[in-house]
Chains A and B, each alone.
Chain A
Amino acid sequence: MHSDLQAQLAFHLTGQKTAAGPQPVDAFELIPGLLARYRDLTALRYDFPLVLTSHDGGIVPLSRLVDEALANESERARKQALRREREIRAMLAGGAGGLLSKLWNVPIALAADGELADCDARLPARFVGHAWRAIQERKARPLRERIERLIARLSDILAVDFARSDEGRSAQRLRASFGAAYEQSFDFEAMSRLLARALPAHPLPERRRRRIESLLQRLRSQQFGPFVFDSCAAALSAYRERLPELVALSKAIAAARLEADGEYVEDRHDAFFEGCGDGLLAAEGLSEFPGYLVRLNGAELGMPQNAQLAEMLASAMPVKALVQFDDILDRSPVGGRPGFGLRSRALAGMALGLAEVYVLQCCAADLYQLRDRVLKGLESPGAALFSVFSGASGESGELAPYLVAAAASESRAFPAFSYDPAAEGGALFSLAGNPQPQLDWPLRELAYEDAGHQRVLEEVAFTLADFVACDGRYAGWFARVPKERCNGGMIPVRESVTAQPSGRPETVPYILMADGHDVLHKVIVAEELIGETRRSLDFWRSLQERQHVRETPAAPVAEPAKPVAAAAAPAVTEPQKQPPSDAPCIETARCTSCDECTRINSRMFAYDANKQAYIADVEAGTYRELVEAAESCQVSIIHPGKPRNPAEPGLDELIERAEPFL
């Protein structure tokens, strides 16, 4: 046994293989044991394929659409539908695509239609692009309506001016205006003469007419996008070119509103609009205009592109950048150690350091589960960065990209996290979406049959070593140990990585892998990979510390046996909620719009769309004003709560006065 361990140590430290030692592993000969039952994804029902719905920009799994449609169907219909779903899944895995309605040939109506999207190299761009376009359309609608309304009103002014002109009052024009229904009812010649006598022409001043025409031209030329780019340079250049147009458009909207309301005063407003420049467009003002989507390939992010990306994100440009990584196991070009995931980590670090940027990192397999966070980022007014690993490096043999992507997340090689600068209650940074985020790696139960045909349950961690084992390029870092040469010196990678290194190693780390016949093997791992695994763990721990969810290494890791399919609930800290009675509130639905509270403090109390009061900004006033408003309220619907500032003068008296309204 000692010689076996020596041979294994020799491989672990130097990569040296001997005839009597561990056996080499061919690329794709083995897969991690935990992935063995998922070889054929088409036989399983899971989130993919997704349907990118046509009518509302939604994204929904095909399996959910089918389940909803089968709610009251017969068993026969159910089998037919599920069989077709499986077939579609297999077709998409083979590279086919198209509209769901074209592929769904079962006489059971599904609630939605749209393009089908499998988890492949195209998914991140399609997913984010589809959601982004829907959001842009929704965002553009009020602006578009506002502009159309202004165009209509300004056009009306010109039309009325024309109608009051000699040409507009001509018999021919009047006849056309009244329409065929009144053709025989009026003497239009007489009417024209009457109008000419009764209404002297008062044409619009020429200057005003030119101004209105210029405004109309500006409003009509507004572009609503979509503005999609494949490079930061192109996006930055387009943004810089468009910025003066946005300033001009903002001016045009403001001027058009004044013109339409008849409030434009040339002496005052001409100079104002001439003089105001970029200052008219505060950062908030940009949010109502169409944004930009930039799609980047993570592999092509070199120094200049990184700098441009940083500039784009830091400049408060309304841009959403999607950086797609297809391969996170490419070796660092710097040389020396492999440096797995360096680019993605550097990108994450840069984006998190910008503080005002919404950041979401996840793998493509989790995009649907984290769709709320994706949508939140796409809806945020400022810049957002989405870093997505597609799993489609092409280096994992027959393993589906979905599995490779999920494995990256599971092994913490590409952990999911989000940073929302607008979140409240300390919930800026989140590790939601990661399995068992309080642990170094998620623990899964592996059930197998031992030599004595007994069922064995073993808790196994999926580490970076397991993830790298999926990649054919690094088969040389693994060596299989025949069963008869296994010894006590072999320990799981998890234990090897978390143990404190002390001089010369006396143990050899291994992972469990399965061959094509689903037979489990212990496969030892080279030291170089352990080093990478350690570095990956350090990064994961730094993310945990950001959110304070890490369990200390001394805490017992063994948890009660969990079914493989069930995920443990992440132990994230919920923001503290204030007890309802301490916070001031108004029963808005009972408000009688009497102006009592708004006259006390119009920033603290505001009217909603139904002209009923609510507390707009409790920080905008004092507790005294809250109490006075409660006392003045005619229907006693204002409840001042408890004072927030203990230093406010006269609190004792105020608390006593507030008592009847609590």
Chain B
Amino acid sequence: MTDTACLLRLYEEKYELEDYQSGVPRWCSGCGDNAILAAVQRLCRDEALRPEKTVFVSGIGCSSRFPHYMNTYGFHGIHGRALPVAEGIRMARPDLHVFVNTGDGDCCSIGAAHWLHAVRYNMHMSVFLHDNQIYGLTKMQASPTSPKGTKSNTTPRGSSLEALNPLTVTLGVQNVSFVAQAVDWMPDVLYEVVRAAFHHQGFSFVRILQRCPEWLPDRFDPWMQDPKRVLRLDKTGHDPANLESARALASRDDPIPVGVLYRNPQAPCYEDLRRSQGLRTPELIRSGLEAEFDRFTVWP
């Protein structure tokens, strides 16, 4: 062994899809989560994200099985708390790529409070809201985003409330910086949106309407069978910098707008505001230790 600064040689990184695959997904056949998984794995491959520098954080729900199927670091947390965990990771390890997979129950119900403040904090992460408009893991209860009239185990006569719109809620929070929407049955648009979210510096919120073939099998059939009922924002000339226009689009559900609704790269991120600009010894220590420990990704 030679006396070199680096004990491990880092070979040229070229990743394949298989490098990010871990385990066979146990979602139902036809579940939209499969499409989201495929799109995210493609993103990791195309951006050559180092698996040891990438972490997926989730709460509870079908969507939150996501980290188990990614060959990266993952944190499968408790119900509704994916976002505060992810924020903690960002503060402790600003060098990691942080992704959050949450569902309509995990984010918009029990986790709603964390969600609002996470938008305001605008910490750099990509959040994917797997919105299938039902509680799937617990076998069919109405969620905050279930359309009015949805029959479920808890609303046998149909839900009586208007559905919560995650897009308008997010766009209503101060310091919002990135909001987008996609649908799982258009994989090319889904991929482009996921990629745009990754590249945005700040809190990227992406609502992905996904099918639940088990509990709401026909929910999106009218939109799937008629492409005109899905509005591709990249082809309409919509300006993502225009907040009012974004809010107007966000309130529409027919046609479903897909693409980037709003993007503000100037919104300040909490990490930048919080961190002192001066050189601090503990920071140096931590970065040195982290750089050294990160080399040891091999477990003999």
What residues of chain A have their CB less than 8 Å away from a CB belonging to chain B? 145, 148-149, 152-153, 155-157, 159-164, 168, 176-182, 185-186, 204, 262, 589-596, 599, 609-612, 632, 634-636
Contacts and interface: CB of A to CB of B under 8 A. Distances in A.
A185 B4 CA distance: 19
Nearest to A164: B300
Given A163-B296, A176-B5, A634-B211, A592 B32 contact: yes
Interface string B19-31: 0000001000111
B38 interface: yes
Given A163-B296, A176-B3, A610-B38, A592 B184 contact: yes
B30 A186 contact: no
A611 B11 contact: no
Given A589-B188, A596-B30, A179 B11 contact: no
Contacts of A636: 224
A574 B285 CA distance: 71
Nearest to A172: B3
The 5 A-B residue pairs with the shortest CB-CB distance in the complex, in nearest-first order: A592-B35, A593-B38, A179-B5, A152-B11, A611-B38
Contacts, number: 106
B300 A178 contact: no
A157 B296 CA distance: 10
A459 B113 CA distance: 93
- Among B11, B16, B41, B213, chain A packs the most CB atoms within 10 A around the CB of B11
Nearest to B38: A593
B292 A177 contact: yes
B187 interface: yes
Interface in B3-21: 3-9, 11, 14, 16-17
Given A178-B292, A593-B38, A632 B281 contact: no
A186 B187 contact: no
A159 B10 CA distance: 12
A32 to B, nearest CB: 58
A167 to B, nearest CB: 9
Interface of B: 1, 3-9, 11, 14, 16-17, 25, 29-32, 34-35, 37-38, 41-42, 184-188, 211, 213, 224, 281, 284-285, 288, 292, 296, 298-300
B187 A156 contact: no
Contacts of B14: 145
A315 B185 CA distance: 51
Mostly helix, strand, loop or mixed at chain B's interface? Answer: loop
A583 to B, nearest CB: 23
A487 to B, nearest CB: 78
Nearest to B33: A594
Nearest to A208: B300
B185 A635 contact: yes
B213 to A, nearest CB: 7
Contacts of A153: 298
B213 A611 contact: no
A152 B17 contact: no
Contacts of A177: 5-7, 292
B298 A594 contact: no
Nearest to B285: A185
A160 B35 contact: no
Contact of B185 (A159, A160, A609, A634): A634
B8 A159 contact: yes
Contact of B7 (A152, A159, A591): A159
B293 to A, nearest CB: 11
Given A204-B300, A596-B30, A635-B224, A162 B17 contact: no
Residue with the highest number of chain B CB atoms closer than 10 Å, among A145, A181, A592, A636: A592
Contact of B298 (A148, A156, A176, A185): A156
A593 B29 contact: no
Contacts of A176: 3-5
A606 to B, nearest CB: 13
A157 B300 CA distance: 6
B9 A155 contact: yes
B296 A592 contact: no
B30 A632 contact: yes
Contacts of B285: 185-186
A434 B185 CA distance: 52
B258 to A, nearest CB: 14
A130 to B, nearest CB: 28
16 contacts: A145-B14, A152-B9, A156-B9, A157-B298, A159-B9, A177-B6, A185-B288, A186-B285, A593-B34, A593-B38, A593-B187, A594-B31, A595-B25, A610-B17, A611-B42, A636-B224
A181 B288 CA distance: 9
A587 to B, nearest CB: 11
A612 B38 contact: yes
A164 B299 CA distance: 11
Contacts of A178: 5, 288, 292
Nearest to A168: B7
B34 A162 contact: no
A185 B284 contact: yes
A626 to B, nearest CB: 17
A181 B119 CA distance: 37
Contacts of B42: 610-611
Contacts of A186: 285, 288
A592 B32 CA distance: 7
Contacts of A185: 281, 284-285, 288
B11 A632 contact: no
Contacts of A610: 17, 38, 42
A159 B1 contact: yes
B284 A634 contact: no
A186 B284 CA distance: 10
Contacts of B4: 176
B178 to A, nearest CB: 24
B300 A160 contact: yes
Contacts of B11: 148-149, 152
A163 B17 contact: no
Contact of A590 (B16, B25, B38, B187): B187
Contacts of A262: 299-300
Contacts of B211: 634
A471 B184 CA distance: 74
Contacts of B1: 159, 162
Nearest to B297: A156
A592 B187 contact: yes
B273 to A, nearest CB: 27
Contacts of B288: 178, 181-182, 185-186
Contacts of B284: 182, 185
A163 B188 contact: no
Contact of B41 (A155, A161, A180, A611): A611
A162 B298 CA distance: 12
A75 B300 CA distance: 70
Contacts of A609: 16-17
B299 A634 contact: no
A589 B29 contact: no
Contacts of B3: 176
Contacts of B185: 590, 592, 634-635
A262 B297 CA distance: 13
Nearest to A180: B5
B300 A594 contact: no
A593 B1 CA distance: 46
